[in-house]
Structure 1
Amino acid sequence: MQHDFWHQRWQNQQIGFHLDAVNPLLAAHFQALNLQAGQRVFIPLCGKTLDIHWLLSQGIQVAGAELNQLAVDTLFAELGVTPTITEHGSLRLYHAEHIDIFQGDFFTLDKGLLGDVDAVYDRAALIALPANMRIDYSQHLINLTASAPQLLISFHYDQSLIEGPPFNVSAEEVAAHYAQAYDIHLLADEILPTGLKGKFPAQEKLWFLNPLK
């Protein structure tokens, strides 16, 4: 999947993946991460999600990675915050109190630049990528965050009915990506009441990835 695909989606405001409220799975199960105020959560491919607003309201610091500059600019405008912007190679860091967003290619972000994180919240990253990219993505995320505890959202539906994204990611695939580093627990399994894209039967699942001891 090319960068141009996502830039075009944002330019044309084809962002059906952006919820107009906090994801209820996050609000209901955030406590599984056992975080305290002041700890830091990383959100890969974060867009301008309102989940960031919610996490900040809980006293959680947020780091995110997002390819599209319009998405990042809109996020800070909606937060009502003017960030400091610095260049780091091909990445641009938007920094404000309690929040760091790295704008550019996720795969060029390294641990030294990201810094330490206490948890990961993957709300729309793994499911946004085609199968051939999901292997590299998951391994990079594990290395980048030192196998930090993770909440992961996946969608499950008949991929033959419609092209992604979001893509169908099975329980078996979640295990294939993460079982070498985590104990994997299913926290929620819900039927999408209106179906995927308003048409296709689908389930939304929330996984807790607990680092292996």
Structure 2
Amino acid sequence: MANEWIERWREGRIAFHLPETHPQLERHWSALDIPPGDKVLVPLCGKSLDMRWLADRGHPVLGIEFASEAIEQFVAEGDGEVSRYRQGYFDVWRQGSVEIWCGDFFHLHIDNTREIQAFYDRAALIALQHPARQRYAFHLAQLLPPGAKGLMITITRSILPEKGPPYNVEPEEVRQLFTPNFELELLDVLPADDRGFSEHVWSLVRRGPSEG
């Protein structure tokens, strides 16, 4: 999976990249009532412009991305000085209030996320094949403190057989994956587009240890 992802970036096969801020982020983020200053984790971030949108609204951003090509393009297309350093398993690029760590999301440790209060997932869960999605949901929960809020966008596909990413993730699977550790609310379901993709927009809140 990792090698395939890197090859996609090297060859420019990045149809999944949205060259603008995701409209559902713009529409629904304010409903989460996340105050400016809260740091936002963006797993499998690519070179998403959503990170700049969040930064422009006062959120420090921590993106995690496996392909260094994506990060190099992100900072090249942005403004401002870029600093680079090493943090554990990760090479880090920082530009303004956005820092992107290059490496495996599953190597991210809770010690690296102590300042995180929120998260945004537009392309992480749907980029993973079925066996990895359970691991992702559990690992995300371990990285977040109780009360952390997030916005997640998933996709169902009416045109099968499935080829991805993005992968088809049915609402029932989302509930099975996240309900044990998050309060989950489906905010919106968009009509299928011409590819048969329908986006589902979710609000999540990390449960406390005594909540079930």
Q: Which amino acid aligns with 1:70?
A: E
How far apart, in 1, do the equivalents of 2:151 and 2:112 lie? 22
Say whether 1:46 aligns with 2:45. Answer: yes
How far apart, in 2, do the equivalents of 1:115 and 1:94 lie? 19
Secondary structure of 1:161's partner?
A: coil
- Contact 1:33 / 1:119 at 8 angstroms: preserved in 2? no
Match of 2:82 in 1: 83
Match of 1:198 in 2: none
Matches within 5 A, 1:13-28: 13-28=12-27
Matches within 5 A, 1:175-194: 175-194=175-194
Shift of 1:159: 6.6
- Contact 1:48 / 1:72 at 8 angstroms: preserved in 2? yes
Shift of 1:100: 1.7
Q: Which amino acid aligns with 1:102?
A: W
Match of 1:154 in 2: 154
Identity of aligned residues (%): 33
Distance change in 2, residues 1:106/1:211 (3 Å): closer
Matches within 5 A, 1:18-167: 18-146=17-145, 148-158=148-158, 160-167=160-167
How far apart, in 1, do the equivalents of 2:199 and 2:132 lie? 21
Secondary structure of 1:160's partner?
A: coil
- Contact 2:66 / 2:103 at 8 angstroms: preserved in 1? yes
- CA offset digits 1:35-55 (Å, max 9, x no partner): 222221110000001111211
Distance change in 2, residues 1:43/1:76 (3 Å): same
- Contact 2:83 / 2:95 at 8 angstroms: preserved in 1? yes
Structure 1: 5+ residue stretches without partners: 196-200
Task: Tell me how many residue pairs correspond in the alignment.
Answer: 207
TM-score normalised by L of structure 2: 0.92
Shift of 1:96: 3.5
Structure 2: 5+ residue stretches without partners: none
- Contact 2:144 / 2:206 at 8 angstroms: preserved in 1? no
- Contact 2:81 / 2:96 at 8 angstroms: preserved in 1? no
Match of 1:208 in 2: 203
Secondary structure of 2:77's partner?
A: helix
Out of 74-83 and 63-72, give the one that drifted further.
74-83
Q: Which amino acid aligns with 1:165?
A: P
Shift of 1:57: 1.5
Question: What is the root-mean-square deviation of aligned Cα atoms in Å?
Answer: 1.5
How far apart, in 1, do the equivalents of 2:142 and 2:39 lie? 17
How far apart, in 1, do the equivalents of 2:26 and 2:171 lie? 22
- CA offset digits 1:133-156 (Å, max 9, x no partner): 111111111101235211111101
